Structure 1
């Protein structure tokens, strides 16, 4: 089994459990800044759909992308329960190419990708944004290594790394914070997070 297939199987197992692994409430950083997103929004590594459904409830047209078929099925179910519609796409982000110039916003919440994947994907994300479109990202930072969360330090970027990786965008906000990590129900431990808001030049 390849590393990617093993990772997919792991998340399929997590999402197959009763309830929602990260709950159904949206990410707090996303809630705080959702007003910056317009039109069509691409939600990466969206899992069971809590953030995509929240954005759809705000009237946005959302495409939720994830490599877990199980997670996306639960995302569609959550959307139906909330009376909104989202589109879903089963895809491995290592190979995913979104349509260019389509999105007013791209959201990546706890999408912990190896640097080799980010090097390929990030330019595609920039191309997918419309002029003036906004990238909104939150993940564990490099300071989280050894404190729980992803075991591979290569998936934990620093603020400086994100600044360099997204050099094609205008940085609106870039900060490292300590807060409840990825908001799992019953998981109150603080995590070292990095948050980024960046805009594609008009």
Structure 2
């Protein structure tokens, strides 16, 4: 899978733009000032850099070394400090209770792996920590505005809610249509799921 993303990120420019995800911007006021934020699958770093510029301590995790190299270049150009880690989410686990927030922006995994990874990331949150997720819904299939073409990589909202059940207090769970403008990779009307949950104190 890292070869796929290395090839995608090796293309000129930034596949998903350099501006942060719109849903993250909406939800970022929940985050603890100066907190530790994990961003698995952040690719070329647009969300990591934006959060770092707002005073958060960010760790951008991705399987693609090419993507992380571009993330570091973006950070340098913006004067931001980010930490990067090249790792496969199938193998990597955060230390339980180590993060103040987890941001998952269009991170799609095979269904058998997704639940394991989601639950591990929920456990990575310290009490009071937030998890913010946006992903393509299964009804996105067939649209040209982005997302995997394999239905197993797309989860309906009820599956996402089940992933975090018993671990997070659900604050928001929504599925619907949005207009994406995130570089050439995500552009146009899209069907997405959005989830925000908090680790109980």
- Does the alignment reach a TM-score above 0.5? yes
Aligned to 1:180: 179
CA contact (8 A) 1:27 1:182 kept: no
CA contact (8 A) 2:96 2:123 kept: yes
Distance in 1 (alpha carbons) for counterparts of 2:178 and 2:2: 27
Aligned to 1:12: 6
Classify 1:136/1:29 alpha carbon distance in 2 versus 1 (closer, same or farther; 3 Å). same
Q: Which runs of 5+ in 1 are unaligned?
A: 1-6
SS of 1:193's partner is strand
Aligned to 1:32: 26
Distance in 2 (alpha carbons) for counterparts of 1:61 and 1:53: 10
Superposition deviation, residue 176 in structure 1: 0.8
Which 4+ residue blocks in structure 1 deviate beyond 6 angstroms? none
Distance in 1 (alpha carbons) for counterparts of 2:37 and 2:186: 28
Classify 1:11/1:174 alpha carbon distance in 2 versus 1 (closer, same or farther; 3 Å). same
Q: Which runs of 5+ in 2 are unaligned?
A: none
Distance in 1 (alpha carbons) for counterparts of 2:189 and 2:110: 23
TM-score by length of 1: 0.93
- Residue deviations 1:76-105 (CA, integer Å, cap 9, x gap): 111111111100010111111012211110
Alpha-carbon RMSD across the aligned residues, in angstroms, is 1.4
CA contact (8 A) 1:45 1:65 kept: yes
* Count of residue correspondences: 196
